[in-house]
A and B are shown apart, each in its own frame.
Chain A
Amino acid sequence: MNGGLLTILRGDSSLELSQYRDQHFDVDDDEQEKSLEESSTLYVGNLSFHTTEEQIHELFSRCGDIKHVFMGVDKIKKKACSFCFVEYYDRLDAENAMWCLNGTSLDDHIIHTDWDLGFREGRQYGRCRPGGQASNVFREDSDVGRGGSGKQAQAHDKRGVQ
């Protein structure tokens, strides 16, 4: 791992950018990476379908003042999807959330957090046909909280769910 002493001790590896890049976002890769390093918005994945805005607000408020929670929506069914965006006022609060909340439990689901470019209209819709989240369609195991077994039994999850 190319992390120096300073990197290790600053815990920057927990903040490192995953491989995900938004393909629809109208910005090239370098600019995307720069924005991600300044962003104070987090993508939160692997939520239960029943998890509410209020629950997310309660948990993520423990890291700082939240500006906005955008709930993910199934484009076709117009119902809650298993992801959301949490935007903080201060980047440091988002960093605390990445350090402390990533990989912990909400509503009996281990949630996954990642840096995001910031909410734009349209990004709240799950991109995968039939309208839900890509990682759900490919889920192999049955998950009652997530609406049952994945539509395709293929173990491919772009978002790195734990």
Chain B
Amino acid sequence: MSRRRHSDENDGGQPHKRRKTSDANETEDHLESLICKVGEKSACSLESNLEGLAGVLEADLPNYKSKILRLLCTVARLLPEKLTIYTTLVGLLNARNYNFGGEFVEAMIRQLKESLKANNYNEAVYLVRFLSDLVNCHVIAAPSMVAMFENFVSVTQEEDVPQVRRDWYVYAFLSSLPWVGKELYEKKDAEMDRIFANTESYLKRRQKTHVPMLQVWTAEKPHPQEEYLDCLWAQIQKLKKDRWQERHILRPYLAFDSILCEALQHNLPPFTPPPHTEDSVYPMPRVIFRMFDYTDDPEGPVMPGSHSVERFVIEENLHCIIKSHWKERKTCAAQLVSYPGKNKIPLNYHIVEVIFAELFRLPAPPHIDVMYTTLLIELCKLQPGSLPQVLAQATEMLYMRLDTMNTTCVDRFINWFSHHLSNFQFRWSWEDWSDCLTQDPESPKPKFVREVLEKCMRLSYHQRILDIVPPTFSALCPANPTCIYKYGDESSNSLPGHSVALCLAVAFKSKATNDEIFSILKDVPNPNQDDDDDEGFSFNPLKIEVFVQTLLHLAAKSFSHSFSALAKFHEVFKTLAESDEGKLHVLRVMFEVWRNHPQMIAVLVDKMIRTQIVDCAAVANWIFSSELSRDFTRLFVWEILHSTIRKMNKHVLKIQKELEEAKEKLARQHKRRSDDDDRSSDRKDGALEEQIERLQEKVESAQSEQKNLFLVIFQRFIMILTEHLVRCETDGTSVLTPWYKNCIERLQQIFLQHHQIIQQYMVTLENLLFTAELDPHILAVFQQFCALQA
């Protein structure tokens, strides 16, 4: 049973709102419930439910008009998969009450403008689509809709604006046509032809440099990975050729034709697209993910072709369902499998394809990765007789195409598959993948299996993994995640520092303090130094070695033990790692101790950054160091790097926020003073102003550190990639080794995963690093990235 939440209703935000009775509240809740639920499974037909609801709403218009307007606008925006149901409802209301229809259209236009101003472009598409379907319901006159689309497509003539802006207006137009193309062409074919011609010429001249960066596979077979506007254009072209015959969309308004055609229509007011501003952020371009076609389900209904408008509509609707319900996966799964018209299409294939399309989308999935895993599990539970087989088929296909799959997508595939298996006792037909055993271990398939098994182990334990795979796969099994202590056995007697290590071990076990540890370490000679400095605390790799090895070994039992150790001896760590070389060496030694346990390495690096034992730049340098070159292509390394960058970004945001809040506080204080004319608060100002100054410095310093981090990372990438390219040229060998593919895609991944922050530093990057002298292979990555928001 769940507790009732306080209603967060706010009736129009009026300061002096009418005091509502509890009856009124109940009615409003009831209306909301009725509107939300219409179209769901019911004893009555959809038509009779719509008719009934229209009657109820019409009767409530005198008292609840603004609430009803708001509800309908909200469902238009948030429930696009039920578009035609709600447009029909509005159509029926308009037929009964012409004024209400007019007010609704005005409210929708207002909402559209607000969405565009707030950069809610994805929702704005649904609003445009809703408006266009209202033409079918005789609420909006076709010529005025055509006029709006004319204005949309005229944006393609704007100069000095990002291409992504022009793209959006074309997309909003084209993506509404499956619903309303027929009607608009019937009424205004000459105008529509003109708009079409303008659209076509735009699509021909727009640049598509960004496409390779967004493709999941580099191969064009078996399915081309098309740019989203190209695909949609092809689909609309085909629809036009078929004389706009579209049979997939559910159109409840057809049943009410006799009523609706009696209704008076409204004209859309002339709509000028809001101008481009500095703050405008448009959606990123996409590549359409395809993994199935009609050959994949030979026994079931035929899968609509990739250029059929049905394919577009089905995918749109499934994406909308996920968007609406992803936080409640049981509902989401239920909604997906009860998709209307499911008997005519291979629904499970569409669902699996759409889910993977989202999971593998570049730069990032629309929702958190783990959601797709648990949604798929829910779907398997809901349809145990059919969905798991499709999923297994999909997994097999993804495995087969690993050679050309983008590294970032492979990461997500690894994480998905390992988590999925952990929910099904790790049952899988590994023998089917025996082909990977004879391949170069660095090539994508064996690499994938190794990484999957490593992640599976993290969710269970080492022996389990050995048990679930056939013996032939043992070479791909992860190492037992044990600690490696170099001073542990007899042979280590001769190692320098060995006696100090033993001393430290005793001290740690008897709960020594930081000072006691310092004094033990004082006597450790420095192998690097010729002359001793006064305090003996300059960079001394041996000191770091004995301290870090011994402490981590003693704390090896669990993460908590290790974190405690870091906390307790924080002072010693800070002192030893004061210099940049010190930080690097701490990381190196930690890596030597835990090289069998990548998960431990990751959590230790995280803690060390958060407790400022090491900084982000040190981690970046460590990752590109020669000690890590053997593990450079392993997933855990990149997870650490991206986690490090994210921490840096969050840190900057946090201080920026503190600065903003302090500034706002000062502004409020000033305002209060001018209101009260109180001179005594001059003194209060002083303290706050000082704080603001300090925060300003902090922000600048943090931003500088952030910029430096990216510069270090990019510089290192350029160095190792150039080295490889030059060597291949000299040796006459092919550039495209598995290592190279991995490395160049890792570079891409940095751009894609942190694109918002990196945009701020474009000029620096272009002038300092990504200059014209750079090898074209590397420069191409930068250029593709620039094209993403150009």
Contacts and interface: CB of A to CB of B under 8 A. Distances in A.
Interface of A: 1-14, 16-19, 52-55, 57-59, 62-63, 65, 69, 71, 96, 99-101, 104-108
Contacts of A99: 326-329, 371
A78 B75 CA distance: 54
Nearest to A19: B1
A58 B458 contact: yes
Contacts of A108: 425
Contacts of B558: 52-54
B460 A107 contact: yes
A2 B7 contact: yes
Contacts of A57: 559, 599, 603
Contacts of B267: none
B24 to A, nearest CB: 14
A1 B29 CA distance: 10
B377 A104 contact: yes
B327 A11 contact: yes
Contacts of B369: 62
A69 B327 contact: no
B188 to A, nearest CB: 36
Interface of B: 1-5, 7-9, 29, 32, 35-36, 71, 74-75, 78-79, 324-329, 368-371, 373-374, 377, 415, 419, 422-423, 425, 455, 458-461, 558-560, 599-600, 603, 606, 643, 646-647
20 contacts: A5-B71, A6-B74, A9-B78, A11-B325, A11-B327, A11-B328, A14-B328, A53-B558, A53-B559, A54-B599, A58-B459, A58-B599, A62-B419, A65-B643, A69-B559, A69-B560, A100-B329, A100-B374, A105-B422, A107-B460
B425 A5 contact: no
A8 B32 CA distance: 11
A5 B3 contact: no
A59 B459 contact: yes
Contact of B327 (A14, A17, A54, A71): A14
Given A13-B328, A19-B3, A65 B606 contact: yes
A51 to B, nearest CB: 10
Contact of A18 (B2, B32, B325, B373): B2
A14 B7 CA distance: 16
A57 B2 CA distance: 28
B286 to A, nearest CB: 23
Contact of A55 (B7, B458, B606): B458
Contacts of A8: 36
A100 B371 CA distance: 5
B652 to A, nearest CB: 15
A4 B2 contact: no
Given A13-B328, A54-B559, A99-B371, A5 B36 contact: yes
A4 B32 CA distance: 6
A63 B368 contact: yes
B4 A2 contact: yes
A7 to B, nearest CB: 7
Q: Report, nearest first, the 8 A-B pairs whose CB atoms are least far apart.
A: A11-B327, A58-B458, A16-B2, A62-B370, A105-B423, A99-B327, A2-B4, A100-B370
Given A8-B36, A107-B460, A2 B29 contact: yes
